[in-house]
Amino acid sequence: MRFYEQQHQYYCGVDLHASSMYLYIQDDRASTLLHRNLPTSREAFRPAVQPYCQDLAVAVECMFSWYWIADLCSQLHIAFVLGHALYMKAIHGGKTKNDKIDSKKIASLLRAKMLPVAYPYPQANRSTRDLLRRRMYFMHHQSELLTHIHNTNTQYNLQGFSKRIDRHSNRIGLPELFPDPMVRKSIEADVVLLDVYHSILLKLEHQVLEQARHHDPVLLGLLRTVPGIGKILALVMIYEIHAHPPLPQGR
């Protein structure tokens, strides 16, 4: 578990949600400077923190909508800290819990150097990593369709397939191998979806590969020289196993 230990003059805890956010700002002596519920928007956040921007740290618990506030803090040259949701729950969990209380707890943990941190993935590579994860989601659906075809074939005790049906060319005429018309219609639907996923995945992989060549062509080339590492695994290693920068130490 890593903690944020940099000292600042002001500390801001944000209990962030999709449509609202509760802000709590305190100084280095734990005096309350701001405690307010605001709409989740850049227009609301910017003026609220502007008077304290000269030496402010903003902490947000890791949840799905932290991207925009991290990017805005970077533009405003404000230290951004992404709290590790699981570890934070273990540290400050309590029976009394609401947005107002949570925002103050986050700021207090930050000031006390007890805020466990998650890694705020850098903006430059974030969208490509998310596209790779979306590709994985489609791959899971593709695997489910292939499994359904194999299981149906076994369920009706039919002859095994002579070729690998995960390849597009080997699925031509596949539904005709099932004599029952209702089963055949089910397999036809699977094959149509598999062909759609095949086309989508090829386009996604091409797009991500081009982006990786732009981001880090040297690392991509080195990874591809390792036996057993293909283009997809190399991309996953580049965008998922990202180097964590060292945390700033207290002054």
Confidence of residue 246 (pLDDT cuts 50, 70, 90): low
Which residues are within 8 A (CB) of 247 and not within 5 positions of it... i.e. 6 or more apart?
2, 3, 4, 5, 6, 117
Higher pLDDT, 145 or 244: 145
User: For the chain, what percentages of helix, strand and coil (3-state, to nearest 5) are there?
Assistant: 55, 15, 30
The average pLDDT across 16-24 equals 95
pLDDT (0 to 100) of residue 209: 83
- The residue range of the domain holding 136 is 123-240
Residues 226, 143 share a domain? yes
- Count of structural domains within the chain: 2
Backbone torsions φ then ψ of 235, nearest 5 degrees: -65, -40
For the domain that residue 41 is a member of, what is the CATH number?
Answer: 3.30.420.40
155 and 64 in a common domain: no
Averaged pLDDT for residues 190-196: 97
pLDDT at 165: 95
**If phi over 0 gives left and psi between -120 and 50 gives alpha, with beta otherwise, what is residue 115?**
beta
Q: Give yes or no: residues 132 and 233 share one domain.
A: yes
User: Which of 111, 144, 164 is the last residue before a domain boundary?
Assistant: 111
Same domain, yes or no, for 131 and 106? Answer: no
Domain end, chosen from 111, 142, 174, is at 111
Of the candidates 83, 111, 139, which is a domain's last residue? 111
Asked if the model's pLDDT at residue 212 lies above 80, the reply is no
Same domain, 174 and 203: yes
* Residue range 97-118, pLDDT digits in tens: 788 999 999 999 999 999 999 9
In this structure, is residue 139 part of a structural domain?
A: yes
Q: Do residue 47 and residue 90 come from a single domain?
A: yes
**Residue 246 forms part of a structural domain:** no
Model confidence at 92, pLDDT cuts 50, 70, 90, reads low
Asked if residue 70 and residue 128 are part of one domain, the reply reads no
